[in-house]
Amino acid sequence: MELGLFAQPVHRPEKPWATALAEDREAVILADRLGFSEVWIGEHFSTKAEQIPSPLMFMATLLADAPSIRFATGVINLPYHNPVIVAAEVAQFDQLSGGRLILGIGPGGLMSDAELFGDKEMPARYGIALEALDLMVRLWAEAAPLSHHGEHFDYSLDRRVWLSHGVGEMARPLQQPHPPIALAMVGPGGLTAETIAARDFIPISANFVPVETVAAQWQAYSATRQKLGRPADRLIWRVCRNILVTDSNAQAEDILADPDGVFAYYYRYIRGVRQIEDFKDRQHEPLSVLNEIVEVPQALDDCVIAGTADTVLDRLIALTDQLGRFGTLVMVAHDWDDSDLWPASMQRLAGDIMPRLSQHTDQLPALD
């Protein structure tokens, strides 16, 4: 089993942007040094908490400082972009990185971003994202003359072409036919899992849903693969979880009990932005009240794995026993409110826990 890092990122809004960016870079560099296999960087436009609007630009600053790790967009929200520009920038990054890119795409999950970019409903955004991706794949494979006349995009290039001098030739990624494409699952399955299975995408299970939902996601994905007559390779499955390794279990319990601790803040934010209109008039309630409104205590029970190395290992073994084998455990990066705690946790997870967890999971089947 490999170990990845996912940085949405979620910071305290009062933290200076430059400080947050420097912290995020430090986390990626440390992950590279510790042997993490990949890092996922999110994209958001209208929040000070998740404050990376361009994951490709951010990751490009790390190519020399993190020379081994694979970089993944987590995700590029295609309904908010011109797909021709995204295709060119993805191709350029893949070339610059030596083919280290995983392309995570999505419809956009942050409600304020959706409002900012036209307030289309989620099903419409999914349709836009998939058509944009289809166009991008064509641009990586074809040269002019070309045209695309779809439901959401209309492009052509046929009158101003000079192929012998490169005019009409699109930017191509180093990985052929293109970088691996990934899509996250939040609900228990449905159309998202079916789309991932049918299009040969990498399945990613979100960290902010209960393990039972994660299990249902794989079941839906695997069932679709079986209907299509294709194997379901568990080694491409990414499972994201909130993990913190502490000196003692009591230390972890204190962090979890803090109504404004790092995990409580994270889940208050994550759950709050998903139902922001429902409690718009109660945003100034005390934190303990807000936590109850958005069910933070339940989220901490369902989604956070924290404690000593032995405790975390035991819980991760229980997780794999429940889910079956998966290829990459993706640790979620948090705001470094304690600048010693989080790097130490990453070191323990990579150096102490993962070798022992891999010994356990290597005995589990790799295919469904």
User: Are the C-beta atoms of residues 140 and 175 closer than 8 Å to each other?
Assistant: no
What is the count of structural domains for the chain? 1
**Partner residues linked to 143 by β-bridges:** none
Condensed to tens digits (0 to 9), the pLDDT of residues 116-141 reads: 999 999 999 999 999 999 999 999 99
**Mean pLDDT, rounded, for 48-69:** 97
CA geometry: angle 145, 151, 152, nearest 5 deg? 85
What domain range is 182 assigned to?
2-242+310-361
- On whether residue 324 sits in a domain, the answer given is yes
- On whether residue 303 sits in a domain, the answer given is no
Rounded CA-CA distance 8/240 in Å is 12
C-alpha pair distances (Å), 366 with each of 105, 189, 235, 324: 25, 20, 6, 9
- On whether residue 102 sits in a domain, the answer given is yes
- On whether residue 257 sits in a domain, the answer given is no
With tokens 């590029």, the residue in question is: 76
Q: How confident is the model at residue 278 (pLDDT cuts 50, 70, 90)?
A: confident
User: Residue 36 maps to which CATH number?
Assistant: 3.20.20.30
Of the candidates 193, 74, 178, the one whose C-alpha atom is nearest the C-alpha of residue 133 is: 178
Condensed to tens digits (0 to 9), the pLDDT of residues 291-305 reads: 999 999 999 999 999
- On whether residue 106 sits in a domain, the answer given is yes
Rounded CA-CA distance 330/204 in Å is 9
Rounded CA-CA distance 133/111 in Å is 22
Percent of the chain past pLDDT 90, that is, above it, reads 95
Of the candidates 249, 350, 339, 239, the one whose C-alpha atom is nearest the C-alpha of residue 26 is: 339
Encoded tokens for 96: 């610059």
pTM of this prediction exceeds 0.85 = yes
Question: What number of CA atoms fall less than 13 Å from residue 334's CA on the CB side?
Answer: 28
Q: What is the model's pLDDT at position 202?
A: 98
Rounded CA-CA distance 258/266 in Å is 12
**Strands, E assignment, the chain:** 2-7, 38-41, 70-73, 76-77, 101-106, 146-149, 154-157, 181-185, 202-205, 238-245, 304-307, 328-332
- On whether residue 283 sits in a domain, the answer given is no
- On whether residue 263 sits in a domain, the answer given is no
Compute CA 339 distance to the chain's CA centroid, rounded to the nearest angstrom. Answer: 23
**Partner residues linked to 333 by β-bridges:** none
**Mean pLDDT, rounded, for 155-160:** 96
Q: Is 125 left (phi over 0), alpha (psi -120 to 50) or beta?
A: alpha
Encoded tokens for 158: 């046929």
Condensed to tens digits (0 to 9), the pLDDT of residues 327-367 reads: 999 999 999 989 999 999 999 999 999 999 999 999 899 99
- On whether residue 255 sits in a domain, the answer given is no
Burial class (CB in 10 A: 0-12, 13-18, 19+), 361: buried
Residue 111: strand, helix, or coil: helix
* Start-to-end CA span in the chain (Å): 17
Instruction: Indicate whether 277 pLDDT > 90.
Output: no
